[in-house]
Structure 1
């Protein structure tokens, strides 16, 4: 690749890390950048997991240091997310994820509308509507599988689930989401490495940008209220819907 192309990959990683650390959805920036660089889809998916791991790790570490991650049930969520991600990554290497696009668009639209018309959602902590171990068992397997298999919108699904079911405010939910994003990223990355589906040089370059962007984004969330996170979340989910809808229906 030319220096020009490498610079744009680094910049894409920077922007993706910033966006992803606040509201998820960084894949709508990083994955198209890798595809635009000429990578085949499976290589792009594997390389995207490598660079995304750096961003989710940085954001998770930053949030944890500031005391925003404290649930004792976190280990259960990590274990079930890892199992789901492993199953999803193995599956995607033998099947096409295209069949999921229409379903995911509908689900993302539901998340967007639910958040938009619930102005107090995530403003304050609420009483959970489900026992945490049950929630993490179900959500970890389902969302871990989805992130390993396809990916776009995973952060949004985790955030809204943590807010709606466990009653976390948006700032805490965003922080916990990064823990589970990192888990599914690292597990999926291992499976992609085993399948020789990772371009290490491009992944590391974008990963450097991811770390810088994730640090800046997570610090911004820590110093801003839940209102800022809500607006950013809605913008990112809307952009993800538009991007996925264009990719889905333009190909038909």
Structure 2
């Protein structure tokens, strides 16, 4: 695959913008995946390639929020275990799944999340003053976090919205805390 100056500029500018969007709110993959596919990459290759940038963006955001004292890490281990287990299972499933199911899964998830946010916003936006729960005290959070991890391992694009629903829905994190 030949990369022209136009394609290089497209990738750099889209990656930069997506990094900002992912750090602040999530959803930057909605820019980078189409950019990679416009360059001629098949959906499954673009999806896998996109994950490299997402990992780096996540690590940069984590370090930045931690450096500025904006990251409460008291339940990080509890959140990470089911999410990583789900992610590993999702990545393994993606390696063997037919390429044709990625697009419908992504579209179905995005539409489902949009409907949840529109029709049942209390699921992802607990009332002000709601005390967040710990994973160890909320067994149902394992299912939500594991499912978010599975989806992230399988497709990745839009996983922030699924993870937001798991954190706000089961652990009752407010939107600011859930996005950190």
Give the gaps of 5 or more residues in structure 2. Answer: none
1:127: which partner in 2?
131
SS at match of 2:92: helix
2:43: which partner in 1?
41
Select which of 73, 80, 83 maps to 1:81.
83
* TM-superposed deviation, 1:110: 2.5
1:145: which partner in 2?
150
Corresponding residue pairs, total: 172
Per-residue CA deviation, residues 134-189 of structure 1 (Å, 9 max, x unaligned), is: 254223311111011112321112223323332322221110xxxxxxxxxxxxxx
Matches within 5 A, 1:174-213: 174-175=179-180
TM-score calculated relative to the size of structure 2? 0.82
Query: Root-mean-square deviation (CA), in Å?
Result: 2.4
Q: Which runs of 4+ in 1 moved over 6 A?
A: none
Aligned partners of 2:167 and 2:145: how far apart in 1? 11
Higher relative contact order, structure no. (Cα contacts within 8 Å, ≥ 6 residues apart) = 1
Give the gaps of 5 or more residues in structure 1. Answer: 176-252
SS at match of 2:51: helix
Query: Does residue 160 of the first structure (1) align with residue 171 of the second (2)?
Result: no
* TM-superposed deviation, 1:29: 0.3
Aligned partners of 1:51 and 1:113: how far apart in 2? 30
